[in-house]
Amino acid sequence: MEPDDVDGASDKDGERYGEQIFAHTRDKERDRLDAISRTYDPVTHQRIGALGLRPGMRFLDAGAGTGELALWLTAHAAPREVVVLDRSTVYLDPLRAPNLRVVAADLTAEDLSGTLEPASFDLVHARFLLMHLPERDRVLQRLVSWLAPGGVLLLGDSVDLTTQSSREPAVRAAFAALWSALRSTIGTDITWVRDYPARLTSLGLIDQGLDVFLPAIVPGAPISRFWQLTFEQTRTEMIATGLVSDSELHRASTLFETPGFAELSPGMISAWARRPDANSLH
């Protein structure tokens, strides 16, 4: 899909992330999100630290999920404020921490005026968010609009560099079916991340960086549990693609907890860039 076509990735009147698939009210969804948090939070913590923390910063975590990153920021960054924003705040409302504010909002809404102050955040973070939104281009522009001069945007989304070269046919089939099912149902597009650099540049951001982290699917790893729970929740949609059978799906999930099994998981591309400030013009 070409960059200009991305917003048409799925029927905008169709199902959305979190309405049925990956809804916070579904059984084991909290466990699924906790598993991915345990996998990628250390990577995000390291990146945020490298980008620079100073007391008094304002942070926005968009699509904040369970809010674990926000709690880490309140404990380690001495922030003026940490704002967590999500359409569903069922996991966020119980959080208690100094200078933490919970905002319930749909980032894809046409009008979010008055929801957050423009040009007011020193760091805006969104992880595994844009890939699931057919309106990802518009949402990205919105995230950039909330950056203060000199503020940094940090994005993370899925990249699958490994599963189609797996020696296990069931693993190849399972992931092919998963990405196809998510694309056709909620509009997920994991190919979009290849355009991060061009998109951030087009929005006027500077000082870009890019890296990738691929965790290992091995017995007992949080990412292994994450994929098992993801396959379990999307089983019907995956089988409906015709790319995986029920027996193949069962085998793939079983392999993830079989001693001696090891595969590189789909991972996360992180991209970051800064909004220019007065010093950038000299």
Per-residue pLDDT tens over the stretch 181-197: 999 999 999 999 888 99
Lowest mean pLDDT, pick from 32-41, 104-113, 175-184, 253-262: 104-113
The mean of the pLDDT values for the chain is 92
222-230 average pLDDT score = 98
Q: Report the distance separating Cα 237 and Cα 225, nearest Å.
A: 19
- Residues near 213 by beta carbon (within 8 Å), at least 6 away in sequence: 40, 43, 267, 268, 270
Residue with tokens 């598993």: 35
Picking from 225, 219, 229, 230, the residue whose alpha carbon sits closest to that of residue 260 is 219
Nearest 5 degrees, angle CA 174-CA 175-CA 179? 120
User: pLDDT (tens digit, 9 = 90+) per residue, 25-45?
Assistant: 888 999 999 999 999 999 999
Least confidently predicted of 6-10, 181-185, 219-223: 6-10
Assign 282 a pLDDT band (cuts: 50, 70, 90): low
Q: What is the pLDDT of residue 281?
A: 59
224-236 average pLDDT score: 98
188 burial (CB, 10 Å; 0-12 / 13-18 / 19+) is: buried
Among 207, 76, 198, 201, CA closest to 150: 207
Give pLDDT, residue 134. Answer: 93
Binning pLDDT at 50, 70 and 90, where does residue 96 land? very high
Question: If you average pLDDT over residues 208-213, what whole number do you get?
Answer: 96
pLDDT band at 24 (very low <50, low <70, confident <90, very high): confident
pLDDT at residue 2 greater than cutoff 70:
no
Structural domains in the chain? 14-277 (3.40.50.150)
Q: Which residues pair with 156 in a beta bridge?
A: 127, 270
Whether 271 shows a pLDDT value over 80: the answer reads yes
